[in-house]
Structure 1
Amino acid sequence: MKGKIPKKYTSRLNKKDRQKQIHNIYKSRKSYKKKKYINRPKLRSHKSKKSQWVVKFEAKYGKGIKTYKEIERVTGIPKKALMEVVRKGKGAYYSSGSRPNQTAESLGRARMYSYIMGGPTRKVDNHITNKYNVRFHD
């Protein structure tokens, strides 16, 4: 199968889970090209942790803010812009891969938090910022 898989997608996994992760990423990439979206299974040997952007968002705005409407209210970023950033994150999950035990939704939301908090996503998704005339209050 073509396309390298970054080491961070398989690091700290036992041999069996590493092979399972690689196989499932290739399977997901192949299916994505056919417009089929396959989630990868959870792996026992991987310990999950929150994205640094999720942690930063919760430190600034509080842990109770989860819905798009609430996030829009506290950040001033339009709901449609937030949803578009999440959609791009989901696409990245299916088309390229991700760390173990990540779901399309969790990757999309982590990308959204990075966008809100001024991470690298903001620069990459600059077209969304322009499209919805987003103003950030850093």
Structure 2
Amino acid sequence: MEAINENIVRSIAYTALDTIQNNQQAELLLIASHHLCQRAQFVGEGWYQWQKDRSVEAIKELGSKEEFLKKHVYYKRMDADTLHAMIEYANEGAHHFVVDLILEDGKTDISDIKYYNLKELAGKEWVDICENWSNTTREAERKHPM
């Protein structure tokens, strides 16, 4: 079951990256989180990213879909209603570029996970994810019981 969950997360993450890369932001709304959809109504251009960094530029380094679907997924339950999943899609030395997905509003079915953000991480931020985030949804649930 965990392998199926990971494949769902990777597929949605890849779809988000591919959609952004091809400038199809309207289609991205179909897989975007509730908060991100609200943001899109008010912000206009660039709504699909919460902060300014080089994450969008780094998508050009995105490899093949087959390669991406083998990437490691990190999970962290933030609270009873929110689970994040993060996948690195590119790196430049100490800079790691990740796609952040979110299972929100207390939903528990991983197929309800949505695109949330792209981020550029470096140093302690990346180390924290590698060392403190979970490798499975089950492990993330154990670390933060609902």
Q: Which has the higher strand share?
A: 2
The question of a shared fold, defined as TM-score above 0.5 by the shorter chain, is answered with no
Q: Which has the higher helix share?
A: 1
- Structure with max Cα Rg: 1
TM-score by length of 2: 0.27
